[in-house]
Chains A and B, each alone.
Chain A
Amino acid sequence: MNCETCQLKELELDPAEIRDVLRCVLHTIFFHRALGLVRPKDVDCELFEITYVQCGDAELEKKIDEKIEQFVAWSEKHPNRKSQVCLSFYEVKSKQSSWFGIKVERQHWEHWIVNVNVHPIHPPKSSFLNTREKVLEETSTRRSALETSVREVLFQIIKFANEKQEHIPPITNSEVVSFPYEITTPSSSESQFGWNKDVIKRILHSGHPYSLS
């Protein structure tokens, strides 16, 4: 089975914008991949004039929020770094009992990589040249540009979700999130080079070479 990977456009975020942006992006992905019966729920972003759709599953919302909080905590410890949040869908292929317990083999069929560059955006120090209005204007401009970028990312998700469908396995249960998934954040791997190494390793093991887009 092919494993498709979607690398989303990088987003430059202020730490205060992480939660809003990641919720928006992750829920949009889930809305297109949680093929169980959903009662869609419209949610307005707090910082942007963007309305996205959630699946209306409380457990899913809770898990997403937990992962986002993990990422926020990690980004606070590692400021000014580019990082990624990876949402992967997989199938449980086999369960093998071993000395250490039951080993579950997962075969990933799709990866969504959310690229973020979190760095505190300090407004320019006010001087006799920089008025308060100018500072606010610059902040507003930056926020508006970020909103445009988030919209582009959402359209990118929709485009990818529509174009790449052949690899999606058949629906086997009636749950809202019909496929098992995992959300990987940098905090899950404390390696010196970050968790990127783990993600790349996973991709190389499970994905088709041409799936790297």
Chain B
Amino acid sequence: MAAHSDSGRTTEQIVSQFLSKALHAILAARIPYIHGPTPPPSRHPRKRDRWFHLALGDPPPALEHPSGLIPNGVMEPLVVDILLSPRDDPTMPEAIVERWVAQCEAPAPWSPLHSPAETSSNSFLVKRTYKKSIILLRSIYSVLRLLPAQRVFKMLCASNQSYNHDLTYRVSSFAEPFSRKEEAEFQYHCFAPVETQSGQLAVSVQYRPSLSQFNLEISSLLPPMLITDYVGSPAADPMRAFPSSPSERTGTRSSTSFPLRGSQHGQPSTSAPASAPVFFNRPHSWTGGPSEVPSNRAQHPNHPPTGSYRKPAFNFDEFKFSPPFYMSPTPSPPKFSGSYMQSPLRSETAPVSIPQSGSSKVKVLRSPNLSDPTRNFLPPPSPRSARTTDPSSQDSDSRSFRRPDGLRTSDGYSNMYGTPKGLKDGRDDSGRFSLSGSPRFTFSRSSSRISVPDDLDDPDFSYPFAVDDVDSSDSQARSNDGKEVSDFGHASSSHKSQDAAVGVLVHMLRTAAPLRDSTYSSQSSKSELQEEGLGSTSSFFMSRKASDALEELQSYKSIKEMLLSQSKGKLH
């Protein structure tokens, strides 16, 4: 009797392990990412793998405790429904595409298994049971690959497209009978039963021979995904502007290889190694018997069900059986890590913190957009250019940059990065010198370093297009020999739009003293008359004027060359 009870317990253990392993094989072949986003790594077979000599890897957390599957004993049937659930249309009901039923049926009274047998035959029976169970499990594993649902599973696993259906499952101990119409749509395959001391272990499957009626196709609703090559990204075009607002961003669907793709084949053939586990949401249910309320919730995997087997034994909320790239139901872009490629944001593209003027020694060189052949450095006059010098305006920050169209900006670098919208708005008069809405000036620090005269390298050098020079009085501009140069230097430290700069230049040119004015002419005439007497004085006066003018001209020329070279560098 003891031997019989031992063999009975062994048989029960075999059946229990068989049911667990069969369920593992079924779910692994039908539910994408049953193990989560990362496939279990290949490793030395564990004790669990040695059961039935079939190494399937680590089971899902739900199957960690096989006893939880059959709390009422091995005689309880195990019914696994594989469902095809429409994703986009919640009104459409989910359809069962496969139903697997594994059950240990009690032996008939006339069966030799019904009566206790001798010890030797018990041992022999146990061994035979185990051997046959091995082959039966192999057959289940093979048939899973031959049924039509396998194709759907491969499509959902392998493709990075989003389909309009999901594969879900339902495990219960009661099989809801099909209607007569449904029954006609299914084909039936029954495996040869395995005789055990507890009865006959029988496995069968009902499956739809064709799934074409479900119109499995790529869903039009794109799930949220992180796009790396959006317009303006460093990956797409380093020289392209970074959009100012998310609404301006346009992204194309990139074929980013999501590293979170798992493989049910034991080999990550289509998946990339992933370091960040991401779980998917997929509805599932463990339905119970007629007396149990179907539940769509799942318990924590570490808490096996204490009561009925119907209660979910694990938390399947973590497992979201969706196509690979469907990360979360929320529209917010998922956060990736690990192998997900993200090129580091360059300082030129990212909205950097704008240092206050005077604290930064960075020379910001603006380059106008010279791609337009019709562009010239003399845009149409702006209203501001006609404004007379206003001493009060000179009190504004020396680095403030007033745009010709009247746009005001704050001081320092904020003018450069702030209000790119304003930049666009301010291009009415100087559209030829657009900045493309980018607060980023690539020519600033990284690439196109343009050789500028040493004067411009001087921190005190005022950028010639500085707005503050626009309203500076002509007398001030002319009275100080190096003042303008220093003003240019200041302006270089706080930039402003190109068009505003050009406007300033125009203004300066217009307000600059003529090289040959009446005073000069009179002086020149005087110098001619007093040439012999006051030759030195007049010549000095003339040279002073000329020197200033020449100096200005030189500086303008250098600026022009710098801008041209920068634009050429940009074009290339």
Contacts and interface: CB of A to CB of B under 8 A. Distances in A.
Nearest to B50: A37
Contact of B265 (A38, A42, A162, A163): A42
A39 B146 contact: no
A168 interface: yes
A51 interface: yes
A52 B265 contact: no
B265 A35 contact: no
Interface in A138-171: 151, 154-155, 158-159, 161-163, 165, 168, 170-171
Given A36-B53, A50-B146, A154-B142, 10 more contacts: A37-B49, A38-B54, A42-B265, A53-B145, A162-B136, A162-B191, A165-B132, A165-B192, A168-B131, A171-B131
Contacts of A158: 139, 142-143
Contact of A53 (B49, B142, B192): B142
Interface in A42-72: 42, 49-53
A32 B135 contact: yes
B170 interface: no
| A-B pairs with lowest CB-CB distance, top 5 | A162-B192, A51-B145, A39-B55, A42-B265, A37-B53
A51 B135 contact: no
Contacts of A35: 53, 131, 134-135
21 contacts: A31-B142, A37-B45, A38-B54, A38-B55, A40-B54, A40-B56, A42-B265, A49-B151, A50-B146, A52-B142, A151-B146, A154-B146, A155-B143, A155-B189, A158-B143, A159-B192, A161-B135, A161-B139, A163-B192, A165-B132, A171-B131
Given A37-B55, A40-B266, A162 B142 contact: no
A35 B266 CA distance: 19
Interface in B251-283: 264-267
Interface residues of B, number: 31
A151 to B, nearest CB: 6
B541 interface: no
A41 interface: yes
Nearest to B265: A42
Interface in B156-196: 189, 191-192
A5 interface: no
Given A37-B49, A39-B45, A165 B139 contact: no
B138 interface: yes
A28 interface: yes
B141 interface: yes
B376 interface: no
Given A31-B142, A39-B266, A155-B146, A162 B54 contact: no
Interface residues of A, number: 28
A52 B145 contact: yes
B150 interface: yes
Contacts of A38: 53-55
Question: Most A CB atoms within 10 A — which of B49, B134, B145, B266?
Answer: B145
Contacts of A50: 145-146
Contacts of A52: 142, 145
A112 to B, nearest CB: 14
Contacts of B267: 41
Contacts of B139: 32, 158, 161-162
Interface string B125-153: 00100011011101101110110001100
Interface in A170-196: 170-171
Contacts of B266: 39-42
Interface string B51-82: 00111100000000000000000000000000
A165 B135 contact: yes
Contacts of A168: 131
B257 to A, nearest CB: 20
B55 A32 contact: no
B131 A165 contact: yes
Nearest to A28: B142
A162 B201 CA distance: 13
Contacts of B191: 162
Given A35-B134, A37-B45, A37-B50, A51 B150 contact: yes
A31 B138 contact: yes
Nearest to B132: A165
A162 B45 contact: no
A170 B135 CA distance: 13
A52 B150 CA distance: 11
Nearest to B51: A37
Nearest to A160: B192
A51 B152 CA distance: 13
A64 to B, nearest CB: 17
Residue from A28, A38, A151 whose CB has the most chain B CB atoms within 10 Å: A38
B264 to A, nearest CB: 8
A165 B131 CA distance: 9
B173 to A, nearest CB: 24
Contacts of B154: 51
Contacts of B56: 40
Interface string B421-438: 000000000000000000
B2 to A, nearest CB: 25
A170 B55 CA distance: 21
Contacts of A53: 138, 141-142, 145
A42 B264 CA distance: 9
Nearest to A176: B53
A69 B420 CA distance: 70
Contacts of B54: 37-38, 40
Nearest to B150: A51
A32 B54 CA distance: 11
Nearest to A33: B135
Contacts of B127: 170
A35 B50 CA distance: 11
Interface in B87-133: 127, 131-132
Contacts of B131: 35, 165, 168, 170-171
Contacts of A31: 138, 141-142
A39 B145 CA distance: 15
Contacts of A39: 42, 45, 49, 55, 266
A60 B50 CA distance: 20
A42 B144 CA distance: 11
Contact of A162 (B50, B135, B150, B264): B135
Contacts of B55: 37-40
Contacts of B151: 49
Contacts of B142: 28, 31-32, 52-53, 154, 158
A159 B53 CA distance: 20
A153 to B, nearest CB: 11
Contacts of B192: 159, 162-163, 165
